[in-house]
Amino acid sequence: MQNTWIWVVIAVIVVGGGFWWWQSTQTPATNTGADTNVVVDTGAGSQVPADTGTPSLPMTATITYDGASFSPSSVTIKKGGTVAWNNEGTAEMWIASAQHPNHTAYSDTSRVAHCPDTSKTAFDQCAGGNNYTFKFDKVGTWNYHDHLNATMFGSVTVVE
């Protein structure tokens, strides 16, 4: 019986370490300018692929969440632009920046540190809800996820 417990503890350590390693690799990528999934929000809730050869990128994008996936999961906007996440599922969503559970990639502060202070630009919803909008003032590719379902994720690329 004691041998069984030892193997269970070893298995938990290996699985936990693997999850920690996977989470530590989920950091924002640098913007290479070669994004092929650029989407333009046309305003009426519809989106069309943008011509990546044009210097005119959208200032807004809308991402729909149905509880199982984000659509589109990746968008590109100009610096100073906003992204709106609309929850069309039955459960609440909680948009949070990478990397789970620290949420430090966008603002260099933890979720615990920035959520009580609404003056900080943290790129975190700070609590579950139905819809969320965030203005991006930093250039780069910023990963996000549903904090209530951390296996659902996407990215926002912000360019000058």
- Distance separating alpha carbons of residues 159 and 143, to the nearest angstrom: 15
What's 69's domain CATH number? 2.60.40.420
CB environment 45-74: b (16+ within 10 A), e (fewer): eebeebeeeeeebbebbbbbbeeeebebeb
- The pLDDT, as a whole number, for residue 81 is 93
Q: Which domain holds residue 44?
A: 2-159
- Say which residue, 71 or 127, is predicted with more confidence: 71
Q: What is the pLDDT of residues 22-44, one digit of tens each?
A: 555 554 444 444 444 545 554 44
Mean pLDDT of 57-68: 90
Structural domain count, the chain:
1
Q: Please say if the pLDDT value at position 76 is more than 90.
A: yes
Band (83; pLDDT cuts 50, 70, 90): very high
Average pLDDT value for the chain: 73
Range with top average pLDDT, 45-54, 94-103, 114-123: 94-103
- Residue-wise pLDDT for 101-116, tens only, equals 666 677 665 666 656 6
- Stretch 112-131: mean pLDDT, rounded? 64
